[in-house]
């Protein structure tokens, strides 16, 4: 990395250490004060143009921010990701682009329906009605919807939050719409937006891997069993060492210009396995919030279920073969 990248990395890490109370965020959510603090540091609107109060950073700087914050709070990193990698490209060049100023300054919370429930809604005379299931960020004021070949933005709506396994710092639940919408364009940007998010998503996964792995290494260095430290048992030390090598390879791939398809695949396949084992090294204590490792396991499962599946594997295969494949 360049010197300025290392400085940024240290700056973000110091900010997280001083300002992100991971347990409080998990239990009470991301407060407005935290959001505004992220905005004041330029982290919230990392890639958004300066004319909209953003930092207008390059991809490497943006991914460094996501990685470092994910080590402390994957929920905060996901909030930044939704704004920069999902909402911003959805409204770019449309009538809703002006909303970026309030979003980047922390005054406007936004969400994006990446699952694509928009087709379940009914449209009549410019109004949209129905319920969107399983939305991450139901406390938002603006939500982007994708309905077939149309991208839309909806204003205020009713929401019903419910308990959710992952990203507990953000509200999750169902959104009920019965209001007017704004058509942004006559094409769905969703597929392209998700593909261009492979790098940032890999950065969040890398941060969760680093956070979970460090907690496992720290714990096995002080916890004893049968009179010996856990790190002295070969199966444990060998496994954690192998995971550390995967972390290092992934970091080199992410920041070294490796094809994002391959880095993304490695990140998604590795984070759940590493987070799960990191929990297991703590024994029963790993499932207690006090130890701060279980959130990485929960969040990694949810993140993989939302952003990585057969569709992404199909894209990877077609990328490798450089042609569309007729899968059977």
Q: How confident is the model at residue 227 (pLDDT cuts 50, 70, 90)?
A: very high
Pairing of strands 142-147, 150-154: antiparallel
15 has a pLDDT exceeding 80: yes
pLDDT at residue 321, as a whole number: 93
pLDDT at residue 107, as a whole number: 94
8 A C-beta contact, residue 177 and residue 122 = no
Q: How confident is the model at residue 116 (pLDDT cuts 50, 70, 90)?
A: low
The pair of three-digit structure tokens given for residue 198, joined into one six-digit string: 């492979």
314 has a pLDDT exceeding 70: yes
Q: Which residues contact 218 (CB under 8 A, 6 or more apart)?
A: none
For each of the domains in the chain, give its residue range(s) and CATH number, in order of start. 3-104 (1.10.540.10), 110-188 (2.40.110.10), 197-321 (1.20.140.10)
Helix (H), strand (E), coil (C) string for 112-133:
ECCCCHHHHCEEECCEEEEEEE
Average pLDDT over residues 110-128: 75
Cα→Cα distances 237→242, 280, 296, Å: 9, 13, 20
Say what percent of the chain tops pLDDT 90. 66
8 A C-beta contact, residue 82 and residue 225 = no
8 A C-beta contact, residue 48 and residue 56 = yes
Tell me the pTM: 0.94
C-alpha span between 17 and 54 (Å, rounded): 23
118 has a pLDDT exceeding 80: no
């Amino acid at each position: 990395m360049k010197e300025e990248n290392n400085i940024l990395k240290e700056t973000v890490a110091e900010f997280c250490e001083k300002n992100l109370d991971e347990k409080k965020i998990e239990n009470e959510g991301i407060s407005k004060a935290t959001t505004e603090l992220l905005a004041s540091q330029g982290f919230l609107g990392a890639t958004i143009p300066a004319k909209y109060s953003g930092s207008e950073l390059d991809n490497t700087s943006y991914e460094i921010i996501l990685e470092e914050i994910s080590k402390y709070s994957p929920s905060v990193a996901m909030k930044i990701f939704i704004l920069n990698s999902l909402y911003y490209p959805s409204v770019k060049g449309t009538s809703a682009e002006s909303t970026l100023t309030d979003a980047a300054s922390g005054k406007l919370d936004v969400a994006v329906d990446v699952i694509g429930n928009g087709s379940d809604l009914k449209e009549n005379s410019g109004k949209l009605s129905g319920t969107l299931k399983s939305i991450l960020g139901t406390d938002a004021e603006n939500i982007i919807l994708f309905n077939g070949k149309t991208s839309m933005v909806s204003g205020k709506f009713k929401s019903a939050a419910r308990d959710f396994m992952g990203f507990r710092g953000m509200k999750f639940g169902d959104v009920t719409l019965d209001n007017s919408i704004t058509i942004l364009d006559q094409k769905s940007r969703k597929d392209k937006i998700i593909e261009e998010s492979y790098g940032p998503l890999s950065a969040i996964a890398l941060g969760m891997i680093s956070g979970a792995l460090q907690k496992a290494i720290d714990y096995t260095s002080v916890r004893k069993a049968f009179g010996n430290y856990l790190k002295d048992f070969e199966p444990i030390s060998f496994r954690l060492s192998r995971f550390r090598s995967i972390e290092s390879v992934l970091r080199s791939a992410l920041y070294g210009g490796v094809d994002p398809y391959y880095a993304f695949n490695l990140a998604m396949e590795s984070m759940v396995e590493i987070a799960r084992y990191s929990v297991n090294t703590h024994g029963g204590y790993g499932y207690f919030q006090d130890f701060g490792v279980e959130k990485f396991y929960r969040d990694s499962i949810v993140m993989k279920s939302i952003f990585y599946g057969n569709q992404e594997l199909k894209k990877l295969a077609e990328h490798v073969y450089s042609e569309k494949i007729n899968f059977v």
